[in-house]
A = this chain, B = another copy of it.
Amino acid sequence: MAQAIPKKSEDYSGWYNEIVKRADLAEHSPVRGCMIIKPYGFSIWEKMQQTLDRMFKETGHSNAYFPIFVPKSYLSKEADHVEGFAKECAVVTHYRLKNSDTGEGVIVDPEAKLEEELIIRPTSETVIWDTYKNWIQSYRDLPILVNQWANVVRWEMRTRLFLRTAEFLWQEGHTAHATRQEAEEETLRMLDVYATFAEDYMAMPVIKGSKTESEKFPGAVDTYCIEALMQDGKALQAGTSHFLGQNFAKAFDVKFADKEGKLEHVWGTSWGVSTRLMGALIMAHSDDDGLVLPPKLAPIEVVIVPIYRNDEQKSMVEDKADVIQEQLREAGITVKFDNRDTHKPGWKFAEYELKGVPVRLALGPKDLENGTVEVARRDTREKEVISLESVTTHIKSLLVDIQDNIYKRAFDYRAANTSVANNWEEFTNILDEKGGFIEAHWDGTAETEDKIKEETKATIRCIPIDTKDEEGNCIYSGNPSKRRVIFARAY
């Protein structure tokens, strides 16, 4: 194989890039800032999509599709929203090319200029609330519980595969409700869906909390998020759920008649996760040998590698492998049998470790004699030889074990890398020496938040939902504080 992957402990960023590349997850496109999601990477994203989509449907949502183009004037209708998104958008100004008169290929046809420029959606609140205006007349039309899977574009100068790209894939839920309470409940319900997905499927523990005023979504009343800790001690925002209040309803004049016939503005939410989750998944679990995938999101849960020296052995091993495959598939397990003779077993072992396949079975002539098979698990690298008779039961429970173990490892890592800081010195020492999440008191002002960010690059990741009030003093200003918040340097 090619050069070794940089060690995670020595060059985290290089390690990440190499894993994304070598495990065939994604690559940069010639168009600046855009990415190509390769088949293996996309098959992981598909597992995420399918799981989330099911969870959205189970909570009463339907999918729909809204146009990719946002008229420029729409962006301006909500004051905070335009501030947040106008600075980084792709603008369509023309609708035709033509052959140049000087024979230098095609040029933009100046005659085909749009009257109003179109923005490629950075998010769809404006287009969707403009539509909801026509869908909503009475309380009977509410709630509207809609989601869309789509591509969005936010022009970015400094990009990283999956974590920050100009174009990315995501889902955006947009709901409309008759009451504030219902909309607030929806906001938190979807936050819970995201947290459950992160923990139960991605095996990635998250903190649920709300964003500060300066970090919230442009146009939202409250933004909630799930925050995860990566293996370099930096935080990653893995999903957000926004309570929009009546802001977009007012901007787009969306009212409904209540049971008494009184007209009221509609209450809204929006919530989204994106291909950024792929970055989180990679960084949360992988090691120096490559990707480590939780079985629930692994496109291949088990790979069988045959071992043989001659055609006779090959054919015997293949016959047995076919039987094992069949048994595992019947048990609902995704199996790949890699019997390519263009590559040696050792190469294949390394390849599937790189790709994070949770379980590898190696089957050779000795195994056939003994009625056994060698089982290797990706997370701990442990190997054992088991009886072929028990292979299905064994692997079923092994996959559960691996899922649990990966979560536990990430949970323990986070526990070990979550610190309490009670003053500025403690705070800066922890940041520089250890990183991770820091629970600290903050005086609640944007000014202090900004100064801390300026001096340390640490931001308030969230005001956690599940912690108790506690009297204290702000680590920066010394002013009183009623609650600890979570600080970290972040992606």
The chain B residue with its CB closest to the CB of A169 is B65
Q: Is A39 interfacial (CB 8 A cutoff)? A: yes
Contacts of A108 in B (CB 8 A): 72, 91, 93, 117
Contacts of A67 in B (CB 8 A): 29, 31, 34-36, 167
In whole angstroms, how far apart are the Cα atoms of A96 and B29 in the complex? 21
Given that A43-B62, A90-B95 are contacting pairs, would A68 and B30 also be in contact in the complex, using a CB cutoff of 8 Å?
no
Contact: B71 with A92, CB < 8 Å? no
Q: Is A42 interfacial (CB 8 A cutoff)? A: yes
Contact: B105 with A95, CB < 8 Å? no
Q: Is A182 interfacial (CB 8 A cutoff)? A: no
Q: Is A196 interfacial (CB 8 A cutoff)? A: no
Contacts of A88 in B (CB 8 A): 95-96
The chain B residue with its CB closest to the CB of A40 is B62
Q: Is A52 interfacial (CB 8 A cutoff)? A: no
The one of B91, B92, B131, B155 that contacts A36, using a Cβ cutoff of 8 Å: B131
Contacts of A96 in B (CB 8 A): 86-89, 91, 155
Q: Which of A260-307 contact B (CB under 8 A)?
A: none
Contacts of A82 in B (CB 8 A): 105-106
Contact: B106 with A76, CB < 8 Å? yes
Cβ contacts A to B, 15 pairs, < 8 Å: A29-B67, A29-B131, A36-B66, A38-B64, A39-B64, A42-B65, A43-B62, A65-B169, A72-B97, A76-B105, A87-B96, A87-B98, A89-B95, A91-B94, A151-B151
Which 8 residue pairs of A and B lie closest in terms of their CB atoms, listed nearest first? A34-B67, A39-B62, A86-B97, A37-B65, A91-B94, A95-B155, A31-B69, A76-B105
Having A35-B67, A88-B96, one finds 12 other A-B pairs with CB under 8 Å, namely A29-B131, A39-B146, A68-B120, A68-B151, A72-B97, A72-B106, A72-B108, A75-B97, A76-B105, A90-B94, A91-B94, A91-B97
